[in-house]
Chains A and B, each alone.
Chain A
Amino acid sequence: SQQGEEDPQALSIQEGENATMNCSYKTSINNLQWYRQNSGRGLVHLILIRSNEREKHSGRLRVTLDTSKKSSSLLITASRAADTASYFCATRPTGGGADGLTFGKGTHLIIQP
């Protein structure tokens, strides 16, 4: 079963605009990660935010984490056509259980040139 739920499921914006995607999860976590997946390819790790962090930046990416609401957001600023991809949040729950990451269903982002 999938823990995370990304919102929106699909997003289409003009090149140069900012894109915001949200993720909600259900259990306590050690960290939350965001991945990008281009069509027909594997997942590329974008950024990891730990449970004791509230905000993190990496280039044009900004991630926030609100553990009280069990939610995270990914902001991509000044979007480019190459940002077109599916974006997934993934969590690693605390307290044992499966050792793998638990992914959401993803947000499909389309950047219109």
Chain B
Amino acid sequence: GAGVSQSPRYKVAKRGQDVALRCDPISGHVSLFWYQQALGQGPEFLTYFQNEAQLDKSGLPSDRFFAERPEGSVSTLKIQRTQQEDSAVYLCASSLGGRQYFGPGTRLTVT
């Protein structure tokens, strides 16, 4: 079956622009996670949804970051007024009962 998909795969934004990153989880997966991975580092947790409820957003680095999953399926991570330090790969993962399945990520470059 289809895995987790993310779009776009690559995004270049000028500093100050808003961006929206999309995640399509595996059908039926209740849990959805967003991670940020800087170059040469491991992924860092951003936020977690259980169905449409955002249960944990402790990893979001600032109030410029906002995530939603209005119907408990597709999720969007929005970054407002992008800064150069936002440049990273943004990974989405979905889960049903423990193991997380990761998408290919969106590589965001802020110039």
Count of inter-chain pairs, beta carbons less than 8 A = 64
Chain A contact residue count (CB 8 A cutoff): 24
Q: Does B42 contact A (CB under 8 A)?
A: yes
Q: Is the CB of A45 within 8 A of B48?
A: no
Least CB distance from A56 to B in Å reads 14
Q: Is the CB of A43 within 8 A of B43?
A: yes
Complexed CA–CA distance, A40 and B106 (Å): 10
Complexed CA–CA distance, A101 and B44 (Å): 8
Known A44-B102, A45-B100; judge A100-B48 contact (CB<8 A).
Answer: yes
Complexed CA–CA distance, A54 and B79 (Å): 42
Residues of B within 8 A of A105 (CB): 40-42
Q: Is the CB of B100 within 8 A of A101?
A: yes
Known A2-B42, A103-B44; judge A42-B103 contact (CB<8 A).
Answer: yes
Q: Is the CB of B102 within 8 A of A43?
A: yes
Residues of A within 8 A of B55 (CB): 99
Least CB distance from B47 to A in Å reads 8
Q: Is the CB of B4 within 8 A of A42?
A: yes
Complexed CA–CA distance, A66 and B47 (Å): 29
